[in-house]
């Protein structure tokens, strides 16, 4: 059988076991939709422009806290939280005022430092990626106008989502609750929103324009592949790259949700490695990363 195979011509050298783990940075802009509370009314007004900067480390291991299966034992709903060593930083600027929150590691359970939901059915459902910095979760706030009131419990949140359609189509943003994947499919986000709260009833709510969302992962060093061959007889792709004996290499493919996922792996035994992968689709993109 003949296949047209597209090859990603590089070897990416990464610095962690997941092959994608790094600091991830997001930026976006939007506008204020609600302001409540005397202190916040002095700092923001409805309609004011909002700019967001979000960063975190995607190397954290998650905890799945909700799964729902159908009658044929197929998973169609999953929620996962990430809170350990996430190094979460959230900065929200409204006009001339800024709010900043940081969280190195949170705790399990609500308010969920980072929460991801993936749903594979329609009916008022949504895929979402949500990041929250809260004092009760161990967060600190270097800059927080209106948060110095006795008894205050400040928190900040931003959420990126895609809802099911009225035509019965399931959400399309995510295909898993993998933290490394949420920043790779930002083009599928259709709605985003967030809030700033002092925990005493004062709150600022805002929406984000999905068209302004940008996500960036630290770019690893790229090494050119030496050879790429498609073997029609065995219907496989042979990738050849310069390697270091004793190093472990992971071959990845670009999945339909725009996330790089593991295809195969191998331990190098010489200065050059050739490895075969079996294509599953008519067109596929591949890359190889080195695990340190």
Query: pLDDT by residue (tens digit) across 214-239?
Result: 998 765 555 677 888 888 888 888 88
Per the domain annotation, does 4 fall within a domain?
no
Cα distance between residue 32 and residue 140, in whole Å: 23
- Asked if residue 199 is part of any domain, the answer here is yes
Residue 283: its pLDDT value, please? 77
Beta strands 248-254 and 236-242, pairing class: unpaired
If asked whether residues 156 and 60 sit together in one domain, one would say: yes
Per residue in 96-149, pLDDT tens?
999 999 999 999 999 999 999 999 988 899 999 999 999 999 999 999 998 767
Looking at the structure, tell me whether residues 258 and 213 fall in a common domain: no
- 12 domain-assigned: no
Distance of alpha carbon 57 from alpha carbon 35, whole angstroms: 31
Q: Supply the DSSP string of 74-117, one letter for each residue.
A: -EEEEEEEE-SS--EEEEEEETTEEEEEEES---SSTT-SEEEE
> For residue 64, is it within any domain?
yes
Question: Is the peptide bond preceding residue 111 cis, with omega within 30 degrees of 0?
Answer: yes
Domain end among 196, 217, 238: 217
Provide the domain limits for residue 141.
23-217
If one compares 5 and 65, the residue with the highest pLDDT of the two is 65
- Given the DSSP bridges, would you call strands 75-82 and 23-36 parallel, antiparallel or unpaired? unpaired
194, 274: one domain: no
Boundary of a domain, candidates 217, 246, 263: 217
Question: Could you tell me the two tokens for 20?
Answer: 């994608």
**CA-based R_g, the chain, Å:** 22
Which runs of consecutive H residues, i.e. helices, occur in 29-176? 38-41
Same domain, 155 and 56: yes
CA 252 vs CA 11, 51, 58, 77, 223: distances in Å: 10, 34, 17, 25, 15
Q: Per-residue pLDDT tens for 28-46?
A: 999 999 999 999 999 999 9
Task: Say what the pLDDT of residue 19 is.
Answer: 42
Cβ atoms of 1 and 165 within 8 Å: the answer is no
**Mean of pLDDT values over 267-275:** 90
Which range, of 12-21, 55-64, 101-110, averages the lowest pLDDT?
A: 12-21
């Amino acid at each position: 059988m003949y296949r047209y195979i597209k090859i990603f011509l590089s070897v990416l050298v990464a610095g962690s076991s997941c092959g994608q783990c790094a600091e991830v940075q997001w930026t976006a802009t939007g506008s204020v939709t609600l302001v409540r509370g005397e202190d916040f009314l002095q700092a923001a007004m409805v309609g004011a422009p909002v700019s967001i900067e979000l960063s975190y480390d995607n190397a954290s291991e998650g905890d799945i806290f909700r799964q729902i299966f159908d009658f044929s034992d197929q998973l169609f709903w999953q929620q996962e939280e990430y809170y350990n060593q996430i190094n979460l930083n959230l900065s929200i600027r409204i006009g001339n005022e800024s709010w900043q929150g940081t969280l190195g590691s949170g705790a399990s359970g609500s308010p969920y430092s980072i929460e991801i939901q993936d749903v594979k059915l329609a009916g008022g459902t949504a895929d979402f990626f949500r990041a929250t910095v809260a004092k009760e979760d161990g967060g600190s706030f270097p800059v927080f106008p209106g948060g110095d009131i006795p008894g205050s419990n400040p928190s900040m949140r931003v959420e990126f989502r895609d809802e099911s359609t009225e035509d019965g189509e399931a959400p399309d943003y995510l295909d898993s609750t993998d933290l490394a994947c949420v920043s790779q499919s930002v083009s599928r986000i259709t709605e985003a929103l967030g809030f700033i709260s002092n925990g005493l009833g004062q709150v600022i709510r805002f929406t984000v324009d999905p068209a302004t969302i940008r996500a960036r992962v630290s770019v690893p060093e790229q090494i050119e592949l030496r050879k790429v061959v498609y073997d029609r007889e065995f219907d496989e792709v042979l990738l050849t790259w310069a390697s270091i004996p004793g190093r472990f290499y992971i071959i990845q493919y670009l999945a339909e949700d725009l996330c790089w996922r593991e295809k195969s792996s191998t331990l190098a035994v010489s200065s050059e490695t050739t490895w075969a992968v079996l294509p599953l689709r008519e067109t596929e993109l591949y890359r190889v990363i080195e695990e340190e």
